[in-house]
Amino acid sequence: MTVGILLVDPQLDFFPGGALGVNDGDAIVAPINELLRRHPRLPLFASRDWHPTSTRHFAARGGRWPPHCVQETPGAGFHPELAMASAEVFDKGTDPNDDAGYSAFEGRSRGHGGRSLADALGAEHVDALIVAGLATDYCVKASVLDACARGLTTFVLAPGVRAVDVQAGDGERALAEMRAAGALVIG
Ligand code: VGL
Ligand code: ZN
């Protein structure tokens, strides 16, 4: 088994004070950094919510969200305290006409010829993923369900995820869905 680490959208707009700040989101930084410190040689991947200024993902055009993670804005930047400089970054949510891009598997690499995450994992013979990031009930869930569907052994680092919880309990329900799909919740 070759294990990789996937950090889902650890961007400032999803941390407290951001445009779509997740309650207690700051709590994910220390456990993720601990994971990275203990396993510095594991292949590291990160997705980035990377929206155009106007998109069907945003409420102004019929979507469900306030503007967040707009390309090249400070809120779209990764949390500066995360030690993830070596990550291969996959941009998603870039299509203005599509409220999609919740899963990291929909992203395209900023390097490597714009390869998909699935192609990157294949090229690096990664067949298991430890997943952390924001938010449990949206992009983490979508990414984990895709990883499970692709046959990857998928671990969710519980201390490294937090939920939007539009409805109370959404985060817990999302974890239950991930478990039902075969993901192993660890930590
Ligand atoms: C996300 C809501 C909207 C996420 C992205 O990264 O979980 N949630 N866009
Ligand atoms: Zn988004």
Cis peptide before 59 (omega within 30 of 0): no
Does the pLDDT of residue 25 top 90, yes or no?
yes
Contacts of 142 (CB under 8 A, 6+ apart): 102, 103, 104
Confidence of residue 101 (pLDDT cuts 50, 70, 90): confident
Q: Tell me, what amino acid is at 140?
A: V
Looking at residue 41, its pLDDT comes to: 96
Instruction: Please give the number of the atom of ligand 1 that sits closest to the Cα of 135.
Output: 7
Mutate-to-test residue for ligand 1 from 51, 68, 137, highest number of ligand atoms within 8 A of CB: 68
Residue whose pair of structure tokens reads 């869905």 in the numeric block: 177
Does the pLDDT of residue 99 top 90, yes or no?
no
What residues flank ion ligand 2 with Cβ within 5 A?
49
Can you list the domains of the chain with their CATH numbers?
A: 3-186 (3.40.50.850)
Looking at residue 31, its pLDDT comes to: 98
Does the pLDDT of residue 100 top 90, yes or no?
no
| Residue 45 tokens, joined | 């991947």
Residue whose pair of structure tokens reads 């980035």 in the numeric block: 48
- In this prediction, residues 84-107 reach a mean pLDDT of 95
Instruction: Please give the number of the atom of ligand 1 that sits closest to the Cα of 11.
Output: 6
Beta-carbon count within 10 A of 28 CB: 25
Looking at residue 149, its pLDDT comes to: 98
Residue located nearest, by CA, to atom 3 of ligand 1: 65
Looking at residue 102, its pLDDT comes to: 95
